[in-house]
Chain A
Amino acid sequence: MHVPDGFLGPQTYVSATVVGAGLWSVGIARVRRQLDAVALPRVGVLTALAFVLMMISIPIPGGSTVHFGGVALLALTFGGWTAFVCISLVLLMQAGLFGVGGITSVPVAALLIGFVGAWTAVAVHRLLRGLGDRVALFGAGWFSVVVPAALMAVVLGLQPAVAAGSDGRPLFFPFGLDVTLTAVIVPHLLVGVGEGLLTVMMIEALRRIGVEPVPAGGRA
């Protein structure tokens, strides 16, 4: 879901920056309280893993990219706020160091992938726990990709309506919802399967070496 500069209008990225600023200040304060000498380097490991997973991305004609994210893994291991802050940093570092995803699209991507994705994973995991641990982990991974992708499709698809020139032609992303909803969501339905499997495998591997996910209703 990396979107380069020039595809989102200022109406979108300025609004996202304003909303994001409030959430980042809350998130950073929570993370500062939560992370200690043991947790911080471990958060670093999983964030570095998310960085690598998100770098392997494939562009799709509907106006975005498909890639794994490791968002559910971070959210279920360290909590939604930590995942949000870490994914925001990953997106910022990818934009700055490699030019992957534009700096103007970082706030939108951070809100969708980091905030919505992380809290979707936490909520779905809690909802599906009764169906079994693996089902809950898989569901958390799948929804953590598909829900942000659907919202990104809406954001992109609204660009021709919210940012058009005086002649009615698009100034930024050119395709409407009729194209983006299909083009962005369908590939992510498949990527979500991979993300779900990855979440199950990685959480189980972490448990084997003694790193337990945060309890439901526990650390934020």
Chain B
Amino acid sequence: MRHRLFVLAYLATAIGSGFVHDPWVLAAAAGVVLVLAGREAGRIARRAVLAVGLFVATVTLAYAAFGWWREGAVDTAWILRTNLRAFGLTALTLLVVARVDARRAFAPWPGLLGLITVIGAQLRLLQRELEDYRLGLRSRTHRRANAATAARHAASGGAHLLGRALHDADEIALAMRARGAWHDRG
């Protein structure tokens, strides 16, 4: 119940943040998120900057250049507001995900939880397959493979990877059936 309440409070905050436009309030809110993160503040701040930094910087620079060219001035209030809102909400999202147990939060929707679990498991498997493939390519090439070699390698291995992933999926299906995940008829 506590985890579900956390998620609801987080969603209410995210929705409500759209109605706050004062950069000082947004800066204070981002500061509160980092304080709540405690020892993880540095890691969460770094991840938030990495996640949105490139996108926000691209739009910010484009808007600043556009304003300078059209009006000879830069809308600093917009820049502060947008950057702080993007950073604060992303940091809050990463903090909530780190603190909330997804299994408990999604417990009322077992079908959805099952799908999320399967997707998560497949992501792990896919990550492992790709890592195996990357190491295989590295062991077969003298120097660091250039983009063309890596692309050819990926293209030739794509179908094989897909086949292996589907084979793993069938194994998972058998394991889930053996553990009673489905009540098969007949």
Contacts and interface: CB of A to CB of B under 8 A. Distances in A.
B59 A174 contact: yes
A181 B14 CA distance: 28
A190 interface: no
Interface residues of A, number: 63
B32 interface: no
Contact of A6 (B89, B112, B115, B123): B89
B165 to A, nearest CB: 5
A201 B19 CA distance: 46
A100 B51 contact: yes
B81 A99 contact: no
Given A96-B97, A99-B48, A42 B169 contact: yes
Contacts of A47: 119, 122
B43 interface: no
Contacts of B18: 8-10, 13, 104, 172
B121 to A, nearest CB: 7
Interface string A6-21: 1111100110010000
A7 B122 contact: no
B63 interface: yes
Contact of A5 (B59, B75, B90, B162): B90
Interface of B: 11, 14-15, 17-19, 21, 47-48, 50-52, 54-56, 58-59, 61-63, 66, 75, 77-78, 81-83, 85-86, 89-90, 93-94, 96-97, 109, 111-112, 114-116, 118-123, 125-126, 130, 158-159, 162-163, 165-166, 168-170, 172-173, 176-177, 181-182, 184
Interface of A: 2, 4-10, 13-14, 17, 28, 31-32, 35-38, 40-45, 47-49, 51-52, 59-61, 63, 65, 85-86, 89-90, 93, 95-100, 102-104, 165, 169-175, 201-202, 205-206, 208-209, 211
